[in-house]
Chain A
């Protein structure tokens, strides 16, 4: 890992992503961005604000409203020497591009026996709790975490957001980089100035503990931390692990924390069936059977198509610190 850090400043998650992109664009003129509204407007959330002004219209390209095109162009450009960032405005609208992602980007290296590859980053905001209703709230990362050939990462802190976007841009394979919308402005943290990277295949222990291991990613890491703090007041010691990378998933880190604590809660915003939580639970049941003191528990969204609009309905869907706390108490009492 190269670290050329000159100072540290408090930044929001969104600033950290932008810093990482900007610095990498300054260092590497192969890096370009394309997506809907990424130029003059700087994206609907402002991630790419100011970048078109700094790097020009060719390197920060306002694409037509066509998701298969955005990803397919990024694939072609990557195969011809560029390092494109394809922005999909909301994860919900990735569907028209799924053929390009799964049939093309994910399989290019394999199907060419290593002769071709797709060094592309696909960035997209996901997650609910922003009054986005069914089509601006989804968490569909599991679809992509299922696919060999893709990397899928979800940073939860500004530090990781910057380090991981830089790593993603230097990775030779397609990286799906998902940003929880509620992290953008709510989550702040220390971000070093200058160049540093964060690995794309390692989980991180955010809080050490001994009684219950909590595995989570994205905004749910923060909800989990809030709940864990409340339990700490009652003398329960929880270990919180931020998975960060959903594919490849860090088996070693999962096994280490699950075996150490003996009790496990997996927290995600997505519905549970055939999800990241399912995979983490399966790994633990395969590798930690003898160390478990309780059934592995999971907390996630309900099995309904997506998050509804009206506040009581939206709240019903969301995994809140209160819900995490209740589940942790249930597990503690087991």
Chain B
């Protein structure tokens, strides 16, 4: 099956409102992300792992999925995706500050281990790759009930070396499941560059081995991401089976707050990545298209900062979990979800 390369084609039939909304989602995630780094550097949050540089493709998928109906088995970079689907900056600040009301885990997991029952975002652990298989089980259950729900799952390019990646693709393709596999390829797995991870540069090539479409998209090109997401979701919903999508993205930050990428990347490389930032590029495109003025963008930013300040204040005022609650939810408690 031929691999498809995609490019920005003008605006992919998107109206001005949709384009502005897309930019707003990206900016909202970026501002939150920057705030979480600040909280970390101030010593108020022990850990953060960023989505900076990955936002465009996540927003594109978020806008094409049906929240609360479709299913999502994400990985730790998917901050922007969770926001588009309906989680809030406050939800994630609560998590970073380890508060009891953190909807992801009640302060039990490290930040960026996303999960939200209400939005069909399944709880994610730390073990890289396991979520891809859960997505297959979810899609199988949707099919058994005759639903046309789509299941989205994602992973980094490093994670594609895990056996679970193969097991999941093999199964989803064999059973033509409505699963979308997104590989957010930022070229690094912590410090290990893709050249030491895999023999060929394009993960999407592997789709051939499973007889499914493999699509490469420039993850810095928001409109191209949108087109690819729209097509993959349609295809899955029609019942035509899974798609493997590889977005070439940038990791604009160190792997996490515990890493310093200056130890293994050159400053030239880091500088050039900054210039390729999808937010800058998308903003320029929207200005060119006459969809967004500099003043619109400033206004948007100001609104989002207000939301963020309120969220930070509220989250900081929220209580930590009581120590004795550590014993709860090992097995189903009254009121827990029971299937």
Contact = CB atoms under 8 A, between A and B. Distances in A.
B336 A72 contact: no
Contacts of B135: 76
A315 to B, nearest CB: 37
Nearest to A84: B137
B336 A172 contact: yes
B127 interface: yes
Interface string A63-96: 1101011001111111111111000000000001
A103 interface: yes
Given A64-B167, A80-B141, A111-B113, A104 B328 contact: no
A115 interface: yes
A109 interface: yes
A76 B163 contact: no
Contact of B164 (A68, A108, A109, A148): A68
B50 interface: no
B204 interface: no
A234 to B, nearest CB: 44
* Contact-residue size bin, chain A (C-beta under 8 Å from the other chain): 35 or more
B3 to A, nearest CB: 24
A112 interface: yes
B-side interface size class: 35 or more
B133 A108 contact: no
Contact of B140 (A73, A96, A110, A149): A73
A213 to B, nearest CB: 28
A149 B336 CA distance: 14
B191 interface: no
Given A99-B130, A104-B130, 4 more contacts: A111-B115, A112-B329, A115-B115, A172-B339
Interface of A: 32, 58-59, 63-64, 66, 68-69, 72-84, 96, 99-100, 103-104, 107-117, 119, 148-149, 151, 172-173
24 contacts: A64-B174, A68-B130, A68-B133, A69-B133, A69-B136, A72-B134, A72-B137, A73-B136, A76-B139, A77-B140, A81-B145, A99-B127, A103-B130, A104-B130, A108-B123, A109-B330, A109-B331, A112-B115, A115-B116, A116-B117, A117-B338, A172-B331, A172-B338, A173-B331
